[in-house]
Amino acid sequence: MTDELLHFIRFPSVSAGDKHGDSLRACAEWLAAHLRQLGLHRAQLSETDGAPIVYAEWLGAADRPTALLYGHYDVQPADPLSEWTTPPFQPEIRNGAIYGRGACDDKGQCFAHLKAIEAFLKTSGDLPVNIRVVIEGEEETGSEHLERWIATHREALATDVIVISDDAMPRPDQPAITYSMRGSVGCEISIRNAQGDLHSGHYGGVLHNPIQALCDVLCQLRARDGRIAVHGIYDDAPEPVPEERAYMARVGLADREILRNARAEAMAGEAGFSAYERATIRPALNITGIKGGYQGNGMKGIVPAQASAKIDLRLAPSQNARRAARLLNNRLRELAPEGLDVALRMLKISPPVRIDRRHPAMRAAARAFRRGFGHAPVFIRSGGTIPAARMFATILNATPLLMGFGLPDDSLHGPNEHFSLRQFLRGIATSIALWEELGRGVAPAPGLRKAAAS
Amino acid sequence: MTDELLHFIRFPSVSAGDKHGDSLRACAEWLAAHLRQLGLHRAQLSETDGAPIVYAEWLGAADRPTALLYGHYDVQPADPLSEWTTPPFQPEIRNGAIYGRGACDDKGQCFAHLKAIEAFLKTSGDLPVNIRVVIEGEEETGSEHLERWIATHREALATDVIVISDDAMPRPDQPAITYSMRGSVGCEISIRNAQGDLHSGHYGGVLHNPIQALCDVLCQLRARDGRIAVHGIYDDAPEPVPEERAYMARVGLADREILRNARAEAMAGEAGFSAYERATIRPALNITGIKGGYQGNGMKGIVPAQASAKIDLRLAPSQNARRAARLLNNRLRELAPEGLDVALRMLKISPPVRIDRRHPAMRAAARAFRRGFGHAPVFIRSGGTIPAARMFATILNATPLLMGFGLPDDSLHGPNEHFSLRQFLRGIATSIALWEELGRGVAPAPGLRKAAAS
């Protein structure tokens, strides 16, 4: 099983940029063939305007519920390559973990479920639930073509729950089920003054410098108290009620644990909230990249022609993503320096997700974790964004079960990403239990169904 | 002559970075051989701890003054390559100009003088002055090893004037002699929080973002009125006297001409001064490059580990460069955000240059321009920095003659750098006249010698 997973990780299936189309398709084709080998039916690539979606199903459990397993075979870009101990697409096992881009996010976690399905189909020959498998190739770039695909195949995808393992549990012995995820808005701002770079001896102090202009804009997106300085952005992000804060304080990571997991030095952010709260139920504005002017070693005497930055705005579970995107766009327009060319490009808009902790399917997932990990899970909130969870929940009216098998220090999206073999094996055991627990029924209690997805 | 210059430009003799060492040496060797062909004596490479210096001389004019021709064979980096119409190191002639990196700065301008020397040596067989040629390979990175080299060879380099053509005249029919140049201080600031990039879903709003921290620092280097917010930086840059401002207003470019030459959209800088003044007699702080986080297409959801920027501080002719470097360093230390790793690196410190307009050698240069271009030159100030001019002037106690043959829109340091063939030919004619004019004597009037170089 580990060898198969290493093979899966070797595909450099990076979805950002436009250099990896062939790798994405090769990875998808290998995966479809693998699903066929497991004993799943109708394993196939389903085309979109972007990367193909891998689909398979097993619908032999008449009168039982249906679960849709969602995962993604695409991965984050691997740069900066120099910070990896071993190459990102030549995975290696050390210290009991698989190191490689996508080891945890999401190839390893998704693979645990596939191996659980295989365990049933290659022993008893059937499964305790009906299962649909949907593994897409554009999660890391915002699942651009997934929503339309789900809508198009709405009838054929009918399901009761959506099983997603694409996140982390707080500690190795503390499994967790996620009951909310933040939304996110991604955009890019570019500022240009001249046609080309100019001599800074001749023009330094004369021309408006686009890097300085960009820094001015970015600084004005943040208030002194660490809040986001975008008018109206907090209107649909009310403070949580005291009971919820107390529950979060009990089950969530402490500030010092979060800082240690990040191996970082300094915190920042909205005053008056714990790091766990800031990361999960509060909006946050974050610059993910900036560039402009000379990038090489030493000095180049120029007034740069142009500068640009990428902005990632994470949204509280209660927030409206389109509204937030509009407010951010308005604020950037308002801050745009006069006389310079300013271009704004919206790259991503993903609404948040909320799930009722009391839903019977959530209880079934909790029992599965208890069997697979030997510990009862806590219910946590996540700061991440899985656009697919919201899309499936909304269009198919099904309940997402967000059961991360990763760990907080797995370096998701960073260099030296890894996935613990122990988590992999316990994930498989949990998945086996999950299919059994779900097979016993997941009908929501009266009045809960409507609240399940928002 | 043009074919020879094209050959000279084809060497990708970029001094910044560490990838072009072989090209620099190949270019220097070709140049030394070329000086030998012209009829100069002792043409050779003189080694330094960096790029070699090309030296040659002709000392057959007994009892005549000596001139030292200084130039540089290194060039600025050519990126961004995508903005060049034709490749930077495959020079091409179009619209009456040679396009290529270094065409103007400084291969073309320096070559005009060499062709004038050749004209004498290949016709009459001698020169009206003694000439030393010093062409270095590190000008664009701050002439790091030149000062020690001049000091070491101080006796052997004895000269009366330093001839440098490495700048622009205001208009094609308006030659100019430069009587001051700004100094410059270059430094780099890097800010790091984490070991590696982190997931912005999990850590956005939690960790201090080094790009935001860097923008905060950079914004605080500039006051609202466009002045540099570095304590004490204006103390040794007093306002010019009214007579000087009136002369500058008469001979200098108007604001709109400067903006048009730059093909840029917006000006900025210190209030109360014309663009020409801001570019030449006022200090200016300019961000020449910034980078951090994800640089590719699309979105990557990270809190970046690290961000850095390069800062270029240009100094008024009266300023002390070491003091300015210390003040900038102090200010950056003061602004460094608490809890983050902040690294500062000083890349360059070059004092400014002032030359007395009334010096006889300046008068000789003016006559040469009148003969070569058919127009009397104006005396102008330059915003650029030629560290060599100050080094030669100080160590050899000689007068720099700064006679740019370039034009303001030649795109020095930028993409599509070019050098007009008409300027090239008139430059050669001017240089022929210059050697003759200098041969008639350049002894300064009593009391002027000491003021010649500062």
CATH number at residue B125: 3.40.630.10
Residue B399 sits in the same domain as residue B295:
no
Same domain, B122 and B190: no
In a domain? residue B172: yes
Question: What is chain B's mean pLDDT, rounded?
Answer: 93
Q: Cβ contact (<8 Å) for B199 and A413?
A: yes
Last residue of a domain, which of A295, A317, A349? Answer: A349
pLDDT of residue A301: 87
* Residue A204 near residue A198, CB atoms below 8 Å: no
Distance from CA of A368 to the nearest CA of B (A): 25
Q: Quick check: A287 and B209 CB within 8 A?
A: yes
Flag if A288 and B267 touch (Cβ within 8 Å).
no
In a domain, B400, yes or no: yes
Name residue B317's amino acid: P
Give me the helices (H) in A336-453, please: 360-373, 387-396, 421-439
Query: In this structure, which amino acid lies at residue B278?
Result: R
Domain identity same for A130 and A203: no
Give me the residues of chain A with pLDDT under 50, please: 445-454
Tell me which of A349, A376, A400 is where a domain ends: A349
Supply the range of the domain harboring residue B206. 183-237+283-350
| Separation of alpha carbons B427 and B104, rounded Å | 12
State residue B167's pLDDT score: 87
Q: Which of B328, B311, B88 is nearest to B214 (CA)?
A: B311
Prediction pTM value: 0.83
B297 interfacial to chain A (CB closer than 8 Å): yes
Whether residue A200 lies within 8 A of chain B, CB to CB, comes out as: yes
**Does the residue A389 lie in any domain?**
yes
A 135-194 residues inside an 8 A Cβ radius of B: 140-142, 168, 181-182, 184, 186, 193-194
Residues A320 and A227 in one domain: yes
Residues B309, B206 share a domain = yes
How far is B423 from chain A, CA to nearest CA, in Å?
19
Please choose, from the candidates A128, A148, A120, A116, the residue with its C-alpha nearest in 3D space to the C-alpha of residue A49: A148
| Domain contains B42 | yes
| Mean pLDDT value across chain A | 93
Q: Using an 8 Å Cβ cutoff, are B228 and B283 in contact?
A: yes
Could you tell me which chain B residue has the CA closest to the CA of A186? B299
Q: What phi and psi values does residue B154 have, to the nearest 5 degrees?
A: -50, -50
pLDDT tens-digit readout, B72-128 = 999 999 988 999 999 999 999 999 999 999 999 999 999 999 999 999 999 999 999
**Last residue of a domain, which of B330, B350, B370?**
B350
CATH of the domain at B317: 3.30.70.360
**In a shared domain, residues A345 and A357:** no
Closest-CA residue of chain B to A144 = B298
Report the gap between the CA of B266 and the closest CA in chain A (Å). Answer: 5
In sequence order, the 6+-apart residues with CB closer than 8 A to the CB of B427 are B109, B112, B113, B165, B372, B405
In a domain, A37, yes or no: yes
The pLDDT of residue B453 is 36
If asked whether residues B167 and B207 sit together in one domain, one would say no
Give the closest of A211, A290, A314 to B204, CB-based.
Answer: A314
Contact A306, A290 (CB under 8 A): no
Q: Does residue A255 belong to any structural domain of this protein? A: no
Using a CB-CB cut-off of 8 Å, the residues of chain B touching A286 are 200, 204-205, 209, 212, 303
Instruction: Judge if B319 and B425 occupy the same domain.
Output: no
Q: What integer pLDDT is reported at residue B444 of this predicted model? A: 65
Chain A hits for B266, CB-CB cut-off 8 Å, are 193, 207-208, 337-340
* CA B130, chain centre distance (Å): 26
A232 and A112 within one domain: no
Number of domains in chain B: 2
Looking at residue B277, what is its pLDDT?
A: 96
Say whether both B346 and B399 belong to one domain: no
Residue B81 falls inside a structural domain: yes
Q: How many CB atoms lie within 10 A of CB B231?
A: 11
CB A177 within 8 A of CB A403: yes
pLDDT by residue for chain B (454 residues), tens only, comes to 999 999 999 999 999 888 888 999 999 999 999 999 999 999 999 999 999 999 999 999 999 999 999 999 999 999 889 999 999 999 999 999 999 999 999 999 999 999 999 999 999 999 999 999 999 999 988 888 999 999 999 999 999 999 999 988 988 999 999 999 999 999 999 999 998 899 888 899 999 999 999 999 999 999 988 999 999 999 999 999 999 999 999 988 899 999 998 999 899 999 999 999 999 999 999 999 999 999 888 888 899 999 999 999 999 999 999 999 999 999 999 999 999 999 999 998 989 999 998 999 999 999 999 999 999 999 999 998 888 999 999 999 999 999 999 998 899 889 999 999 999 999 999 999 999 999 998 876 544 434 333 3
Alpha-carbon dihedral B81, B87, B88, B90, rounded to 10 degrees: 160
- Per-residue pLDDT, B448: 41
Q: Which residue has the tokens 């050959």?
A: B7
> CA-CA distance, A452 to A448, in Å (whole number)?
6
B104 and B167, same domain (yes or no): yes
Whether residue A358 is found in the same domain as residue A322: no
Dihedral Cα B437, B443, B446, B450, nearest 10 deg: 110
Q: What is the pLDDT of residue B304?
A: 96
Residue A213 DSSP code: H
- Is residue B205 domain-resident? yes
CA-nearest residue of chain B to A210? B287
Q: What does DSSP assign to residue A406?
A: B
In sequence order, the 6+-apart residues with CB closer than 8 A to the CB of A354 are: A179, A180, A317, A318, A453, A454
B264 at interface of A, judged by CB pairs closer than 8 A: yes
Print the SS3 string covering chain B.
CHHHHHHHHHCCCECCCCCCHHHHHHHHHHHHHHHHHHCCEEEEEECCCCCCEEEEEECCCCCCCEEEEEEECCECCCCCHHHCCCCCCCCEEECCEEECCCHHHHHHHHHHHHHHHHHHHCCCCCCCCEEEEEEECCHHHCCCCHHHHHHHCCHHHCCCEEEECCCECCECCECEEEEEECEEEEEEEEEECECCCEEHHHHCCCECCHHHHHHHHHHCCECCCCCECCCCCCCCCCCCCHHHHHHHHHHCCCHHHHHHHHCECCECCCCCCCHHHHHHCCCEEEEEEEEEECCCCCCCCEECCEEEEEEEEEECCCCCHHHHHHHHHHHHHHHCCCCCEEEEEEEEEECCEECCCCCHHHHHHHHHHHHHHCCCCEEEEECCCCHHHHHHHHHHCCEEEECCCECCCCCCCCCCCEEEHHHHHHHHHHHHHHHHHHHCCCCCCCCCHHHCCC
> Within an 8 Å CB–CB cutoff, is residue B416 touching chain A?
yes
Among the listed residues A268, A275, A284, A283, the one whose alpha carbon sits nearest the alpha carbon of residue A252: A275
Q: Are B413 and A301 within 8 A, CB to CB?
A: yes
